[in-house]
Amino acid sequence: MSAPAPTVAEPDAESVLAPLLHKLQLWKPLDAADRAAILALPYTLKSLPPTGHVVREGDRPNCSCLLLSGVAFRQKLTSNGARSILAIHLRGDVVDLQNSLLHYADHSVQALTKIEVAFIPREAIIELALAFPRVGMAMWYDTLVDGSIFREWIANNSRRDATTSLAHLLCEFGVRIEAAGLGDRLRYELPITQDQLADALGLTSIHVNRTLKKLEGLGLITRTQRSVTVTEWKRLADAGDFSEEYLHLPPAATHSVP
Amino acid sequence: MSAPAPTVAEPDAESVLAPLLHKLQLWKPLDAADRAAILALPYTLKSLPPTGHVVREGDRPNCSCLLLSGVAFRQKLTSNGARSILAIHLRGDVVDLQNSLLHYADHSVQALTKIEVAFIPREAIIELALAFPRVGMAMWYDTLVDGSIFREWIANNSRRDATTSLAHLLCEFGVRIEAAGLGDRLRYELPITQDQLADALGLTSIHVNRTLKKLEGLGLITRTQRSVTVTEWKRLADAGDFSEEYLHLPPAATHSVP
DNA sequence: CGCCGGTTTGAGTCCATTCAAGAGGAGTGG
DNA sequence: CCACTCCTCTTGAATGGACTCAAACCGGCG
């Protein structure tokens, strides 16, 4: 690990971990030393094709994994062979703090699209958190927000019908894509199959298909190949019982939508 | 909810916050200074009757809340008037880190039984985490484990049928009660109504009732008034697709069961 | 004793599933 | 450029697990 120098050590070193820095600063300001320490984290780059595994359930990983580009998801398998998708992750998300810090992977993390990731040794993260407590706090906050989204998913998959929960999920994607600077909540690309949507909602892909058509019929969304475009935000949010407080985004992270 | 005024440590201060210390040391060793700092946290005691609110959805709490005795739960309401129970908490759990640190309560926390809680000002927790990074790490770990349980609940409520998910939940209660030193996984008291079980599983109380009777008929459990006793651990765990890795308990925390 | 919250049971209904089959696109290789 | 294949999407019909509605049963408690 190199010393946190104010000058650029490597031309692109800073830019590679920049998404992490951006994410951690969403909630709490960090000073120059904090920022330098984050950017000085050691890492290994890797590229994975769709369905490639970042980590498998049951592994004992010793690296965390920062998602640099593309979309990834967490999943768990049940004994009856069904799959449950637990979370969807975008650029800047640290997708494997949980498994790495806890020493045991209670779920898998896989690429949804082609992704690029940076593997960061667990020990480096622990040292960072101990030496720079503000950074540790920031990562803790990130974990708290993840937990908030998990809670919303429990309610979404337990107490909302298919139409409502699908609309809700589409809203969440829109807001998070916007917050990550990857698009507009009103018009974003969603590179996810109906099969995967079904596993994220606890439904069957057949019913997801029918529900998508229903939302389309209601004029809330339009669809093209394997992607969904939201056309009526307000009505979709109402249909999905969606309000974004649970994402705990700072005001600056989202644009106001009339 | 208003902030209870921090009180000066009393003679029995150490024993009051001891459950917190015990919980935080489950995963990582802490040194004497760390332990002393935890026990020196300011707090206000409060007792709540069943259904009493620790925090309400939409509040902006400035205190976290440590559960000293009794059972509490987190819940969210959906627009159709349904309730989703997101977590059950036992002695030693810090039940409101999420809402307090994130400044906005995305869900409510309520007493299931009569409970005793210690309110701890948010600022004191933040200062503790910054001044004693190992303690900050320990709290972060605790949040990570909470997240792991949330994930399991997503899968449980999405991809398991009523019989399996109920059996799973009964197993989780048993292991956690045992780990908290409150009883034996083979024979524990469960002060929860079928209505509440239903809201935790995304079912109706009527169906929970029938499913409980089914498990009883299979000889996996026996029931008395408002409490459940597990009689056949192994078979219940099999029926519930349960393995306790997701609880991330240290080996010492659970007794081996033949 | 009579209320009251929780439990139990029955009968009918419905949302989502299963089963089955066809249509559409994207990529591959001849 | 055209098969050919694979994967996903789409649609229909029948089934089923969980729900709704409704009523009776309990046990604790004022």
Contact B183, B255 (CB under 8 A): no
Residues B136, A140: C-beta atoms closer than 8 Å: yes
DSSP A42: -
Q: B24 pLDDT exceeds 70?
A: yes
pLDDT recorded at residue A128 = 97
**Nucleotides in chain C with any atom closer than 7 Å to protein CB:** 6-11, 15-20, 25-26
Q: Write out the DSSP string of chain B.
A: -PPPPPBPPPTTHHHHHHHHHHHHTTTS---HHHHHHHHT--BEEEEE-TT-EEE-TT----EEEEEEES-EEEEEE-TTS-EEEEEEE-TT-BTTHHHHHTSS-SSEEEESSSEEEEEEEHHHHHHHHHH-HHHHHHHHHHHHHHHHHHHHHHHHHHHS-HHHHHHHHHHHHHHHHHHTTS-BTTB------HHHHHHHHTS-HHHHHHHHHHHHHTTSEEEETTEEEES-HHHHHHHTT--GGGG---GGGS----
Residue B194, CB, strand C, below 7 Å: yes
DSSP A1: -
Residues B154, A159: C-beta atoms closer than 8 Å: no
- Min Cα separation B82/chain A (Å): 6
Residues A140, B139: C-beta atoms closer than 8 Å: yes
Residue B162, CB, strand D, below 7 Å: yes
* B74 touches A at CB < 8 Å: yes
- By Cβ distance, the residue of A76, A101, A129 closest to B155 is A76
pLDDT recorded at residue A254 = 60
Q: Write out the DSSP string of B225-247.
A: TTEEEES-HHHHHHHTT--GGGG
**Model confidence, pTM:** 0.93
pLDDT, one tens digit per residue, over A120-151 is: 999 999 999 999 999 999 999 999 999 999 99
B197-223: average pLDDT: 96
Nearest CA in chain B to A161: B80
Q: With cut-offs at 50, 70 and 90, classify the pLDDT of residue B14.
A: low
Closest residue by Cα to residue A237 from A250, A247, A227, A251: A247
Question: Which pair of structure tokens corresponds to residue B232?
Answer: 């056949």
* B33 touches A at CB < 8 Å: no
Digit-by-digit pLDDT tens for chain A (258 residues) are 444 444 444 444 457 999 999 999 988 899 999 999 999 999 999 999 999 999 999 999 999 999 999 999 999 999 999 999 999 999 989 988 888 899 999 999 999 999 999 999 999 999 999 999 999 999 999 999 999 999 999 999 999 999 999 999 999 999 999 999 888 999 888 889 999 999 999 999 999 999 999 999 999 999 887 778 898 999 999 999 999 999 999 886 665 443
Question: Rounded distance, CA A91 to CA A69, Å?
Answer: 5
- The B residues from 106 to 135 touching A (CB cutoff 8 Å) are 106-107, 126, 129-131, 133-134
Residues B150, A155: C-beta atoms closer than 8 Å: no
The per-type count for chain A, helices as H runs and strands as E runs, is 9, 9
What is the C-alpha radius of gyration for chain B, rounded to an integer number of angstroms? 18
Q: B12 pLDDT exceeds 50?
A: no
Could you give the 3-state DSSP secondary structure of residue A36? helix
Q: Token pair 């592994």 is at which residue?
A: A59
* A250/D18 CA-to-C1' distance in Å: 40
Phi, psi of A234, rounded to the nearest 5 degrees: -60, -45
Kindly list the residues from chain A whose CB atom is less than 8 angstroms away from the CB atom of residue B128: none
Closest residue by Cα to residue A212 from A228, A199, A201, A196: A228
- Cα dist from B99 to A112, B9, B57, whole Å: 31, 25, 9
Question: Rounded distance, CA A127 to CA A205, Å?
Answer: 44
- Cα dist from B225 to B49, B190, B192, B208, B222, whole Å: 20, 10, 10, 15, 10
B229-249: average pLDDT: 94
Q: B254 pLDDT exceeds 90?
A: no
- Lowest average pLDDT, out of A1-15, A184-198, B48-62, B168-182, goes to A1-15
pLDDT recorded at residue A2 = 44
Q: Token pair 């409150």 is at which residue?
A: B182
* B3 touches A at CB < 8 Å: no
Phi, psi of B39, rounded to the nearest 5 degrees: -70, -15
pLDDT recorded at residue B110 = 95
Q: Measured between alpha carbons, how far apart are the two ends of chain B, in Å?
A: 47
Around B97, how many Cα atoms within 13 Å sit in the side-chain half-sphere? 27
Q: B131 pLDDT exceeds 70?
A: yes
